[in-house]
Structure 1
Amino acid sequence: MTSGDTARLRATVDFVTNQDTGTLLPLLLPGLDGPELRALADRCRFAHAALLVFPADPPMLRAELAACGLTADVTEQPSVVVRKRLALRYQRDAAELDVRILRPTVHGPEGEHRVVEVFTLTVPPGSELATIAVHERIQENEAHLAFEVERPDPLVLRGLSSILERHGAVADGGGYNPHEDGTVFYFTAPADSKAGYRRVELYASGDHRDVLASHVGSDRTDEPAETLLRLLTGAWTTQALATCAQLRLPEALDTRTAVDVEALAQTVNAHPDSLATLLRYLAMLGVVSQGPDGFRLTELGALLRANASGSMRPLALMYGGPFYHSFALLSHAVRNGQTGFEQLFGENHFDYFARHPELAERFDRSMAASSRMFEPLPAHPVLTTAGRAAEPRTIVDVAGGNGALLGRVLAAHPSLRGILLERPNVIEAARRSLVPTVGDRCTYHAGDFADVPPGADVYVLSRVLHDWDDDRCREILRDCARAMPAHADLLIIERLLPADGSASLATAWDLHMMCNVGGRERRADHYSRLLESAGLHLVDRSPLPLDAHVLHARKVASPAYVPAPHRVAASCFEGSRPASR
């Protein structure tokens, strides 16, 4: 970091610790007073000020944070919004810009909790990113003030945006960050603002992309017939993506240099004119981009590469293969309550995949495409407490598939020991994956849900319960409860259906589970009732990326346990496995 970065960081810390909401709002929006000032002040609170810095390496940043009196061991999260803004501003591939967010805590004049939001882009000496750093230090495009919206809902968010715009603020983009389950609405401050910042942010916990669409001006004005046509051709999109993966186009394309169709057709053994038609459709989807010299791969398309981190290639092949065919029997599932998959293939998908090893492996790999939802999980208070205990603690991953989730937790907490419970044919693959990373800290139990190992400290059910109906879920939870000591914790990772009917990946997966698996997604209160029927109590829940949540439960009968008030965390803990049955 330069001395200028350090000075800006110190100035930001001073600003955040000395300002209060009631004084700052009129400075930001000159002329704001009366009912509108009260409306903003009642619904918003000054939460942070943000800046973007460019350390040469992470240790340098940590040292500067400590020198400014800030917590140096604060958790980092990827910044989806700022990364996209920088990529667009400088015409760079977003994959090159590893922008992170750190939020060290400070306190306001009345002792209220605030943070300094530090965006970081590491720029080693001699890096070609240095030109971005120079320009951003001058322009300070990402420096902003932020107000957190209390109890956000669509009506409140639209009303607050209207007040800001009436007083001269101009909508300036925004985005939804799945890593922390929060939506930001950016504005350019009025020209006569006296707050010292050119940009302001409204932050709302949760997914408010419907409101965000109108804020960023992306509301569609299609005629109903055009809208319906786009919806009806969704199957074409699924097959285009699956074909892209089957042909290994992502491996044959480059993200920087365009490749002409003739050369590409020869590489992937395809008919040139037909390939060009597919590529134009993929360009419309944003998977590739088209230029005068041919086509190149985008950041989105790179996720279909087989060796990409979190590759979604196996998912494309599954959704364009067996599940695509069984979805054709959705009407049968709706009419008769029977899965389309069993109707088509004559057995449930677990048994079918078990008899087709290549599909079983692809299914395991497809589930790993959602591993991003697990990134914040090791920081969950239950796991951090277990990891810091004086005596070694044990975590059991029930039906833990290939052990990807358990391996992630054990890697983050070296004192923890793990037990993986899975079917015999899955155990060996998991052992091969885990032994090189966690060694002898993990043991392997071949068995079913009735064989849950007793006496551990933490039990995990990750994407298991949504595979089953309520009766089977109660049995699984009772099996876990019988194995759990009085002090043990149970963590359940699932997507939750929204209580208000808002858009969610859980709603889409609910349809998939009904047609192809025979399970279902559920609301939080539904899981709470299932837990109670098994002698367990829902303590709290916290959001994870990709619309997932982690539910924390304990045994009701534990004499050391006093049920905590139910609460919903606003972000991922402050600070997997394939469904194998």
Structure 2
Amino acid sequence: MITTLSGDTSRLLATVDFVKEQDTATLLPLLFPGLDGPELRTLAEHCRFSHAALLVFPSDEAELRAMLTDCGLVAALPPRPSVVVRERLAVRHRRPAAELDASILRPAVTGADGAHRMVEVFALTVPPGSGLEAMAAAERERQHEAHVAFEVVAPDPLVLRGLCATLARYGATPDGGGYNPHENGTVFYFGAAAEAKAGYRRVELYVPGDHRDILDAHLAEHRARQPAETLLRLLTGAWTTQALSAFAQLRVPDAMDSERGVGVEELARAVGARPRNLATLLRYLAMLGAVTEGRDGFRLTESGALLRAGAPGSMRALALMYGGPFYESFAGLVHTVRTGQVAFDHLFGENHFDHFARDPQLAELFDQSMAAGSAMFDPVPAHPALTAAAEAPGGATVVDVAGGNGELLGRILAAHPSLNGVLLERPHAVEAARRRLEETGLGTRCAFVAGDFADMPAGGDVYVLSRILHDWDDERCREILRHCARAMPDHADLLVVERVLPCDGSVSPATAWDLHMMCNVGGRERHAAHYGRLFADAGLALVGRSPLPLDGNVLHVRKARSASA
């Protein structure tokens, strides 16, 4: 148990003794009184006591080193920065995070049972006269960062859900958490039971691997208990959009490395920014997980690297679009809700297709942003309709209607060498698609048609409408689908790629895109049954539906029997 002792060294020594003396089977009932029998055995089988954590307040690194030595601890110095603890301290005490030097060490400890554990030492440097003494005194008293941790052994989603449910039955309350992509580990924080006898009020469950699907439910329950904090996080969402957009616009990711840190001064020179201001932006991005901060500077994470220009799967164009024209027009959401008029049209005086077409740079950016969601396309080439077409004697033709820069058609042709393609697009876009497909060696198998939906090429074997119908109201969708139906031979298939609204009210990106389409484009997302009615109105029938990444779907459509009889 942690007791009130004088000095950080005494507190740290008490933590070391605690880690040495405890084991999983004895500690769990202390944290969650009443836990016994089969449930205790199940928990002890699937998780093990790994460490206890403490926040100390040395005046400098030399004092921290002496503190560790006095407690018999050996750890590599200098310690690594602890961004999470620094941010929590800044929020709790309303201090700028830049003023706080918080770090972390994990010296090893051997338990009385021979098990290898750690003491997680958080250190906030408090130089004499720094004005941080009051903060240190308050943290020593309240022990906000003190916790005990258990690591889940060989995690399985069903087992993990069961562990969380068991802890909840014995008084555990969700208290935050997160996913660390660098360690590929997921952390679940709980408040211990009110009757806990271990002296710790916070429990960490560390789970190797990515378990963000389960973490989302855990965090939702945590936030439901803190409505003011939840609302504040939601209200600052615009800051996140602009921070990521500015990061991409300044091309900071292109000047960074994912293997080594780069100092702020060097980055500022490379991108033409003020070092102090760039540092503030990077610290915020570290909180978002786009970069990490170390002693050698800032490094890109896997997510941040997607904002590099030209990177595989780059989402830079999407960041610029969402932080640029669409961000501006979202300020007119009230106008759209009140009047039904599209905010983008109200702000810019014309619809987004015409507006982008007048500006070649914007037009290119829009086409690139559409391709940025290309992960949704990954399974499309393997759709049975395309596979069957590829196996047809004499070859077959795929018509990509309003196919953008040719990203999806290129994937289909690359996957099926026997197929040929036709791409229909607006004049400026069709040239970009031609260049893209020629660069990949697929241009000789593709014809390019500049025009509108009324210019639908006839006689294709498979038609593709990828993220097109959600741009338009129902009447325009019916018109587009009728053009498809007239062009399609009786044997042809139509593949419609869209996000589909859930019928049960569950959380879905399609719900967010529905708001975006209403405000910025004048379109909408729809339920599967709604699409089915639109198809029927055009003499078509929905015959199948397959899920795609990023909450997408392939709606498989054919001519209705009465229409083809």
| Shared fold, TM over 0.5 | yes
Runs of 4+ in 1 over 4 A off after TM superposition: 141-148, 157-166, 208-212, 214-218, 558-561
- What SS class does the counterpart of residue 260 from structure 2 fall into? coil
Superimposed CA distance per residue, residues 330-359 of structure 1 (whole angstroms, 9 cap, x where no aligned partner): 100100001111111100010001111110
TM-score for the superposition, normalised by structure 1: 0.61
Deviation at 1:146, TM superposition (A): 8.8
Contact 1:329 1:340 in 2 (8 A): yes
1:473 alignment counterpart? 477
Deviation string, structure 1 residues 518-557 (Cα, Å, up to 9, x no partner): 0001111110110011111100101100010000011113
Listed as ranges, the matches of 1:312-331 within 5 Å are 312-331=315-334
1:378 correspondence with 2:405: no
Question: Distance between the aligned counterparts of 2:240 and 2:459, measured in 1?
Answer: 49
Q: Measured at CA, do residues 312 and 216 of structure 1 come closer, stay the same or move farther in structure 2, by a change above 3 Å? A: same
Q: Secondary structure at the match of 2:523?
A: coil
Counterpart of 1:528 in structure 2 is: 532
Which of 356, 366, 371 aligns to 1:368? It is: 371
Q: Please state if 1:289 is matched with 2:292.
A: yes
> In structure 2, what is the equivalent of residue 459 of structure 1?
463
Moved more, 385-394 or 339-348: 385-394
User: Which residue, 483, 486, 499 being the options, matches 1:482?
Assistant: 486
Where does residue 541 of structure 2 map in the other structure? 537
Equivalents in 2 of 1:218, 1:445: separation in Å?
Answer: 52
Does 2:501 align with 1:501? no
CA distance in 2, matches of 1:428, 1:334: 37
1:168-247 matched pairs, under 5 angstroms: 212-214=215-217, 219-220=222-223, 223-247=226-250
1:248 maps to amino acid = R
Task: Establish whether residue 438 from structure 1 lines up as the match of residue 430 from structure 2.
Answer: no
1:305-337 deviation per Cα after TM superposition (whole angstroms, max 9, x unaligned)? 002111111111111111111111110010000
In 2, are the aligned partners of 1:487 and 1:558 still within 8 Å (CA)? no
> For 2:448, what is the secondary structure of its paired residue?
strand
User: What SS is found at the alignment partner of 1:418?
Assistant: strand
Cα distance change on mapping 1:458 and 1:291 into 2, 3 Å: same
Which runs of structure 2 are paired with 1:73-222 in the superposition (5 Å)? Answer: 162=165, 212-214=215-217, 219-220=222-223
What secondary structure does 2:337 align onto?
helix
Return the alpha-carbon distance in structure 1 between the equivalents of residues 225 and 366 of structure 2: 37
Aligned-partner Cα distance in 1 for 2:163–2:463:
43
Distance between the aligned counterparts of 1:531 and 1:382, measured in 2?
18
Question: Which letter maps to 1:447?
Answer: G
Among the aligned pairs, what percent are the same residue?
67
Is the Cα contact below 8 Å between 2:343 and 2:520 reproduced in 1?
A: yes
| Alignment partners' CA distance in 2, 1:229 and 1:240 | 17
Contact 1:542 1:550 survives alignment (8 Å): yes
Q: 1:159 to 1:145 in 2, by over 3 A?
A: closer
Q: Following the alignment from structure 1 to structure 2, what is the Cα–Cα distance between the partners of residues 328 and 536? A: 39
1:417 is aligned to 420
In the alignment, is residue 555 of structure 1 matched against residue 562 of structure 2? Answer: no
233-242 or 208-217, which deviates more? 208-217
Match runs of 1:556-575 below 5 Å: 556-557=560-561
Is the alpha carbon distance of 1:423 and 1:303 closer, same or farther for their aligned partners in structure 2, counting shifts above 3 Å? same
Corresponding position of 2:256: 253
> What is the CA distance between 1:163 and its match in structure 2?
8.4
| 1:145–1:556 CA distance, 2 compared to 1 (3 A) | same
Contact 2:464 2:495 in 1 (8 A): yes
Q: Does structure 1 residue 301 correspond to structure 2 residue 304?
A: yes
- The CA distance in 1 between the partners of 2:391 and 2:357, in whole Å, is 39
Are 1:408 and 2:411 matched, yes or no?
yes
Query: What's the offset of the Cα at 1:374?
Result: 0.2
1-structure distance, mates of 2:261, 2:486? 59
1:425 Cα shift? 2.1
Secondary structure, aligned partner of 1:552: strand
User: 2:398: which partner in 1?
Assistant: 395
Question: 1:435: how far off?
Answer: 2.3
1:219 CA displacement: 3.7
Inter-partner Cα distance in structure 2 for 1:397 and 1:302: 30
Q: Which residue of 1 aligns with 2:452?
A: 448
- Rounded to whole Å, the distance in 2 between the matches of 1:217 and 1:364 is 35
Q: CA deviation at 1:144?
A: 8.2
Q: Does 1:351 align with 2:374?
A: no
Larger Rg: 2
Which one-letter code corresponds to 1:477 in the other structure? Answer: L
Contact 2:263/2:297 (8 A) holds in 1: yes
Deviations 1:196-226 (A, max 9, x none): xxxxx9xxxxxx9775534699844763222
Q: C-alpha deviations, 1:458-504, integer Å up to 9, x for none? A: 11000000000000000100110111111111000000111111111
Q: 1: CA distance between counterparts of 2:444 and 2:266?
A: 49
CA contact (8 A) 1:486 1:557 kept: no
Q: Secondary structure at the match of 1:296?
A: strand
Unaligned stretches of 5+ residues in structure 1: 1-29, 33-90, 92-140, 149-156, 167-173, 177-183, 187-200, 202-207, 562-581
Aligned mates of 1:330, 1:260 — CA distance in 2: 40
* Alpha-carbon distance, 1:441 to partner: 1.3
Q: Give SS of 1:546's match.
A: helix
* Structure 1 residues 457 and 142, CA gap change in structure 2 (3 angstroms): farther
Structure 2 residue aligned with 1:68: none
Mapped to 2, the partners of 1:503 and 1:252 lie a distance apart of 36
The answer (yes or no) to whether the contact 2:410–2:437 under 8 Å persists in 1 is yes
**CA RMSD, aligned part only?**
3.4
1:143 and 1:292, CA in 2 relative to 1: closer, same or farther beyond 3 A?
closer
The CA deviation at 1:232 is 0.9
DSSP 3-state at the match of 1:433: helix
| Cα 1:403/1:142, change in 2 over 3 Å | farther
TM superposition shift of 1:159: 8.3
CA, structure 1 residues 159+538, in 2 after alignment: closer, same or farther (shift >3 Å)?
farther
Counterparts of 1:263 and 1:159 in 2: how far apart (Å)?
Answer: 49
Look up the match of 1:37: none
| 1:558 shift after superposition | 6.3
- Which of these residues, 263, 267, 270, is aligned with residue 264 of structure 1? 267
- 1:276 deviates by 1.1
Contact 2:290-2:304 within 8 A present in 1 as well: yes
SS at match of 2:490: coil
Encode CA deviations 1:358-397: one digit per residue, 9 max, x unaligned: 1001111111110010011111111111111222111111
Task: Determine helix, strand or coil for the equivalent of 1:391.
Answer: coil
Task: Report the 3-state secondary structure (helix = DSSP H, G, I; strand = E; otherwise coil) of the residue aligned with 1:490.
Answer: strand
The change in CA–CA distance for 1:257 and 1:423 in structure 2 (over 3 A counts) is same
Distance 1:337 1:210, change over 3 A: farther
Secondary structure (helix, strand or coil) at the match of 2:479 reads helix
**How far, CA to CA, are the matches of 1:547 and 1:225 in structure 2?**
30
Query: Greater CA deviation, 355-364 or 262-271?
Result: 262-271
1:230, CA displacement in angstroms?
1.1
